[in-house]
Structure 1
Amino acid sequence: MNAKPWLPYYPTEVAPSFDYPKQNLAQFLISSSQQYPNRPAMYFMGKTIRYKKLLESAYRMANALKSKRLKKGDRVAIMLPNCPQVVIAYYGTLLAGGIVVMTNPLYVERELAYQLQDSGTKIMITLDQFYSKVQNVAEETMIEHTIVTAIPDYLPFIKKILYPFAAKKQGPLPQIEYSRSVHSFTALLASADDTPCCEKVNADHDLALLQYTGGTTGVPKGVMLTHTNLIANTIQSANWCYQVENGKERYLAVLPCFHVFGLTTLLSQGVYRAGMLILIPKFDPNSLLKIIDKKKPTLFPGAPTMYIALINHPKIKEYDLSSINACISGSSALPLEVQDRFEELTKGKLIEGYGLTETSPVTHVNPIWGRRKIGTIGIPVPDTEAKVVNPATGEEVLPGEAGELIVKGPQVMKGYWNRPEETFDTIRNGWLFTGDMATMDEEGYFSIIDRKKDMIIASGFNIYPREIEEVLYEHPAVKEAVVIGIKDAYRGETVKAYIVLKDGKAPDPKDIERFCRSQLAAYKVPKHYVFRESLPKTLVGKVLRRKLLEEEEETPAG
C-alpha cells in the first residue's frame, strides 16, 4: 500500500515535512517578543498586554519560582481559567526549567488531591476562588508553595474598582491569608527581577508538560509531553493554517488552556505567530458574540458545542462575525449542518480535525482552504504517519476496512508518567495505538467510526466510566452500576447511568445526583439515571457495557 496516499491532497503551500528546533518551548515567546515587542499579546476584559510586557512578566515569574527553590524538572501545577496569569505562569515555569501540570479548575478535592500526589507537584498557582480546595488537600501532597491570584489583578482600573461589587452577587469574596508558603501572584512578580533567563533543555528528552488524561482502567494518567512534542505540534498545526500572517492574527481563546487542545492551537500557536490572544475565562454565547463583534478575531479553534450554541443564538444576526477566517473543530464529531450554517454566517472556513492528549494533540485535519471531505477527520498533518490496523493481528487493513487507528510522529508522547507497562501497551515500535476504530479511504482521508475504549467525550471533556462507577458504588443505596455515553445534540455525548439498587431501596435519582456532584466535577455527573432489576453480564460476571449501548441505539428517539 502507498505509505502516505494523502500527500497529493496537501495544499501546495504546506510542506510535508518541517524542521523542529531543539530548544525550550518558551523560546517561541522570546522570539516573538523580540520581533514584535509592541504587538498586543493578550486582550482580557478591556486590558491589553503587549509582547514586551508579557515576556518581562514571564521572566519575573521564572525568577520568582527559582527564588522558591524550583529546580529543573520540578512540577508546577497551574489551575487557572483563561486569563493573563495562565499565560505568564505557563511561560514562567518553562523558562525556569519546570514541568507544567495543567489542572482543571472544575476538579473536586478528591480529583485534585490525586493529580497533585501523582505528579509530585511542588508549587501550585491558582485563583483565589479555588484556593480553599487547594488548602484542604495540601497536607496530602508535596506542595511547598501556593501562589494565588484574582481576576481583578489584570483588569483595567475602572473594572478593578467595580469588580468587588459585581462579584458579591456570587457570594463573599475569598479572603487569603498570605504566609511564607502562600504568596500573592502580583506581589511576587513585583518583587522579582526581570533578568532574562531560559533554562537549557534536551528538547527530545525533557518534559515541558504533564497533562492528565483518563484511560480504560481507572484513574487518570499523566501524559509526558516533551519540549519537542509541543514544538512540533505547534509548527505542524500553525503551518496547516498557511494563510495566517505573523504579527497580525487575533485568536479567540475560549477553549480552556488547561486542555491540551487549547494549549497548542491557541496559546502555543498564538505566541508562535505573534498573534493576539483574546482571553475568554468562561464560555457564554451572549458575551462571546459581543467580543467577536468588537474585537474581530480571525481564528477560532473550538469544540462543536461552541459552534452549535452560537448558530442557535436568537440574536446572532445582530452581530458581525465576518472577521473569522478559519476554525478548527475538535474533541467530537462536527455535524454537517453546524458546519454549513457557521460558514454561511461567518464566510470563513470551519473544518474538522482529530487528536489525542497523547499526541500533543493534533494528528489529522481537513485542509482548510483545500479539498476537504465532510464526515472525515481529514488527513495526517506534516511528518505524521497513520494507518488502520486489525486490532487482533496488528496488520494493516485495506482502504475502507475498519480497524484501530495508529499514528507515529514527532508529536507522540514520551509515555505515561510512572506507568511503564501502560506506556509499553500504548506505544509499540514508535506507533501510538489510539484505541479509536477508524477507516481510511483510498485517498488517505480518515474517518472515526467507534471507540475501542469506553471513553465518553462531552463538550470536549474526556470522561471515563469507571471513575464514575466507583463513585456510584460508594452510594449506600447502590448495588451495581454501569455508565455509558449516549448521543447528545449539544454536548456530543452525555453520561447515562444504569443502576441496580440494594434490596429495599427506592429509586431516588436526585439523591444520587447530589452524591455524585459532591464527588465529581460537574461535567462528569450523569445526566440520566435508569434503575433496573439486573445488568447484562458475561458468564464470569463482567457487565456487558456494549449490550447497553446497543439497547440505547435501538431505543427510538424521544
Structure 2
Amino acid sequence: MNKVIQKSWPTDVRKQLTYRLGEIPLHEYVKKNAKYQPDRTALQFYGKAITWHALDDAIDRLSQFFIEKGIQKGDRIGLYMQNCPQYIIGHFAVQRIGGVVVPLNPMYKETELIYLVNEAAMRIIIAGQELYSRIQNIAQEIKSLEFTITTNYADFLPEELAIPFPEELMLPKQSSDYAFDLLSIIDETDPLQDYPVLDIWEDVALLVFTSGTTGRPKGAMLTHGNALFKTAAAVSSNQIRSNDVLLAVAPLCHIAGMLMGVNILVYSGCETVLLTKFEPQTAITAIEKYQVTTWYSIAVMNTAILNMPGIEERNLTSLRLNMATSFGLPVTEPLALRWRDVTDGCLMFEAAYGLSETHTGDTFMPQENVKYGTCGIPTYETEIKIIESSTGEEVPIGTQGEIIVKNPGVFKGYLNRPEATAETLRDGWVYTGDIGKLDEDGYLYYLGRVKELIKCSGYSVFPEDVEALLGKHPAVLQSVAVGIPDKKRGESVKAFVVLKPAYKGTIQVSEIITWAKENMAAYKYPREIEFIESLPTTSSGKVLRRLLKKEREADD
C-alpha cells in the first residue's frame, strides 16, 4: 500500500485482507454456511424464507444433474433469468462442477442471443419461463446448445406473498417437451457426492460479456479467485457485518449486481432480501418489513423513493449503509443528505469504480472521509495509475489521463480474442479506456471514456462534466451529452435532456442553451439540445450513450 493510500485508509478498516472461511471458491462458502448455520435464512424472496441448508441442497442436486448430462469442467452454461433464487442456485451449481457461468441479460432479444450463445459455445441455458420462446425461435442458429432448463418464478414464491410480486411475471406453470423443469430436477435428483478439484486462481468460473466499447461484445474470463478476492475486499472495506440484512435488487446478471447480490450473500453469510426488479413501493415495504440494514442501489432508485408521496412517514431507519452507483443520475452530496434525513442517518456514497475485466470494485469509499464526486481510494492489493495513453507515461497528481488497474481481480483475457486481450491486458495491468485523475489523497475521479471524449476546437470535453453542469439547471432531470460533427470546430456538444414534469411545455430549448452558455466554458456548452421523454438504459440503469447518439444520427 503506497504512502498516499496509507494516509487515506480508514482507521477502522483492517489493512490486510484475510478470507473469512479460507482461500476457497465461493460455492464452498455456501456449503460451509450450510454446515455452520443450516437453519439460518439465506434468502427472503417475497416472503419465502430459504435456509442455507435448503440452498446448498438445491445447488448440489442441480450440480449432480449437470454431471449426469455429461457437463464437464470448463463447459459454459448461460443464465437467462430475472433476479430469483433459481439464478443463485444455477450460478453456484455450475461453478461447483467446474463449469463457467455466462450471465445473459433478460432484456436480450433473439439477435443478441444468437451472437452471445455462439460466441461462448454454451451447452445449456437456464431460462425464465417467459424468456424460453426466444430461445426456441433461434434454436436452429445456436448449434452448441444441447438443451434448455426452464423455471417459473412462482416455484420459489410463498403461498401468501409478504410483498407484491410483479404481476407480469406471475405466469401459469408450463411444461415443454423440449426443456427440463428446474424444480423437477431439484426434486428428483440426488445430491452431488464427488466434487472436482479446482485451481481457484487459474480455473475460469465466469464469462462476462463487456458492453462492447469497440466492436461486438467480448467475453471476459474471470476465475474463482477473482470473485473471491473482490468479494472479500468489498465486505471488509465496506464493513459489512455478519448480522446485516442485505437488499438485492440490482440485476444479478450485471457484474456489480452479481458482486452485491450473489457473492456477498454467500461470503458474508448474511440474510439477503431478493427482489426480482425495482419498484419503489415494493422496495420501501421490503426495507420496513425485513429491517434491511445494507443496500446497493442505483442513484435513480434512491431518487424514485425520495419522490414517493408520504415517504417521510415511512420507516426506513433500519438502513445504516447505502452503496450507490451513478447510473442515470450522479451520487451527489445533496442527494446523500436527503437520503440521510429520510432514513434517519443512513450513509450513502458512491460504491466503487470498476469494470467487468476486474470483477469490479477496484476502489472503495472510506466511510470516515467520504468525498462526493469521487469513486474513493484503491481497495486491497490494488494499484491504480493515470497515464498519458499515447506514451504510457504516468502523469502528475491532479492531471487527467487513462486509468489503468492492477490487482488479484484482473481477468485472464477475452475468450477467443487474443488481439483484444493483448491490447487491454499488459503485464498484469488492465488498460481501461477510461479517463480519470487521482488527487493528493489517492481518491479517484472518473471523467469518462476515451472513446466518448468530445474534441471541440482542440479542447477535450468530457460528457459527464457537461451532464453534471446541466443537472444544476432547475428544469433538467437527466441529460446525456454527445459529440456531433461541426465543420469549423471539429465537434460540438449536443445534449439530450429529460425535463422535470413541472417544466414540460413551459421551457424552450433556447432558454437552456442560453443558461448553459452563461454557466459553461465557451468551448463546452451544448450548441444543440433535444428534449426526450427518457434516456435509454441497460437493465442496471447505465445510460446507453452510444445507442442514443447512433439512433439520432440515423434519423438525420
Please tell me the residue identity of whatever aligns with 1:214: S
Distance 2:349 2:90 in 1: 31
Q: 1:266 aligns to what?
A: 261
Distance 1:170 1:43 in 2: 18
Q: 1:97 aligns to what?
A: 98
Q: Is the 8 A contact 2:403 2:433 kept in 1?
A: yes
* 2:238 paired with 1:245: no
Shift of 1:345: 1.6
What CA deviation, in whole Å up to 9, does each residue of 1:517-554 have, x standing for no partner? 9xxx99856499657997xxxxxxxxxxxxxxxxxxxx
* 2:395 paired with 1:400: no
Normalising to structure 2: TM-score of the pair? Answer: 0.79
Shift of 1:13: 3.1
Q: 1:315 aligns to what?
A: 310
Q: Which has the higher contact order (CA 8 A, sep 6+)?
A: 1
Q: How many residues end up aligned between the 2 structures?
A: 477
Q: Secondary structure at the match of 1:233?
A: helix
CA RMSD of aligned residues (A): 3.2
Shift of 1:170: 7.9
What CA deviation, in whole Å up to 9, does each residue of 1:273-308 have, x standing for no partner? 111121100111111111111111111011111112
Shift of 1:157: 2.4
TM alignment of 1:364-383, pairs within 5 A = 364-368=363-367, 370-383=368-381
Q: 1:343 aligns to what?
A: 340
Shift of 1:214: 2.1
Distance 1:339 1:527, change over 3 A: farther
Q: Is the 8 A contact 2:363 2:377 kept in 1?
A: yes
Distance 1:523 1:5 in 2: 33
* 2:357 paired with 1:358: yes
Distance 2:155 2:270 in 1: 23
Distance 1:527 1:286 in 2: 33
User: Which of 141, 147, 150 is the matching residue for 1:148?
Assistant: 150
Unaligned runs of 5+ in 1: 466-481, 491-508, 535-558
What CA deviation, in whole Å up to 9, does each residue of 1:174-217 have, x standing for no partner? 744234xx101111111111244543211111111001112332
Please tell me the residue identity of whatever aligns with 2:241: E
Distance 1:392 1:399 in 2: 18
Distance 2:496 2:385 in 1: 28
Q: Is the 8 A contact 1:251 1:277 kept in 2?
A: yes
* 2:65 paired with 1:46: no
Shift of 1:367: 1.0
Distance 1:388 1:523 in 2: 25
Distance 1:159 1:222, change over 3 A: same
Distance 1:171 1:381, change over 3 A: closer
Distance 1:175 1:39 in 2: 32
Which range is displaced more, 375-384 or 26-35?
26-35
Shift of 1:25: 2.7
* 2:221 paired with 1:219: no
Shift of 1:7: 1.7
Q: Is the 8 A contact 1:251 1:297 kept in 2?
A: yes
Q: 1:23 aligns to what?
A: 24
Please tell me the residue identity of whatever aligns with 2:257: G
Q: 1:451 aligns to what?
A: 449
User: Which of 409, 415, 429 is the matching residue for 1:417?
Assistant: 415
Q: Is the 8 A contact 2:154 2:170 kept in 1?
A: no
Please tell me the residue identity of whatever aligns with 1:201: L
Distance 1:205 1:449, change over 3 A: same
Q: Secondary structure at the match of 2:452?
A: coil
What CA deviation, in whole Å up to 9, does each residue of 1:431-482 have, x standing for no partner? 1111111111111111112221339999xxxx9x9xxxxxxxxxxxxxxxx9
Q: Secondary structure at the match of 1:217?
A: coil
Shift of 1:330: 2.3
Please tell me the residue identity of whatever aligns with 1:17: Q
Q: Is the 8 A contact 2:74 2:99 kept in 1?
A: yes
Please tell me the residue identity of whatever aligns with 2:133: S
Please tell me the residue identity of whatever aligns with 1:203: I
User: Which of 225, 228, 233 is the matching residue for 1:228?
Assistant: 225
Q: 1:548 aligns to what?
A: none
Q: Secondary structure at the match of 1:202?
A: coil
Distance 1:69 1:260, change over 3 A: same
Q: Is the 8 A contact 2:404 2:432 kept in 1?
A: yes
Please tell me the residue identity of whatever aligns with 1:147: I
* 2:250 paired with 1:255: yes
What CA deviation, in whole Å up to 9, does each residue of 1:401-445 have, x standing for no partner? 111111100011111111111111111111111111111111111
Q: 2:58 aligns to what?
A: 57
Q: Is the 8 A contact 1:383 1:410 kept in 2?
A: yes
Distance 1:329 1:186 in 2: 34
Distance 2:221 2:305 in 1: 35
Q: 2:176 aligns to what?
A: 177
Q: 1:470 aligns to what?
A: none
Shift of 1:489: 8.2
Q: Secondary structure at the match of 2:102?
A: strand
Which range is displaced more, 313-322 or 325-334?
325-334
Please tell me the residue identity of whatever aligns with 1:128: Q
Normalising to structure 1: TM-score of the pair? Answer: 0.79
Shift of 1:23: 3.0
What CA deviation, in whole Å up to 9, does each residue of 1:4-62 have, x standing for no partner? 51222212332333246543331121122222111100011111000011101110110
Please tell me the residue identity of whatever aligns with 1:278: V
Distance 1:208 1:489 in 2: 43
Distance 2:194 2:255 in 1: 25
Unaligned runs of 5+ in 2: 454-462, 468-479, 483-491, 501-529
Distance 1:309 1:90 in 2: 30
Distance 1:531 1:357 in 2: 29
What CA deviation, in whole Å up to 9, does each residue of 1:475-519 have, x standing for no partner? xxxxxxx998857689xxxxxxxxxxxxxxxxxx9xxx9xx99xx
Q: 2:8 aligns to what?
A: 9
Distance 1:170 1:355, change over 3 A: closer
Distance 1:95 1:158, change over 3 A: same
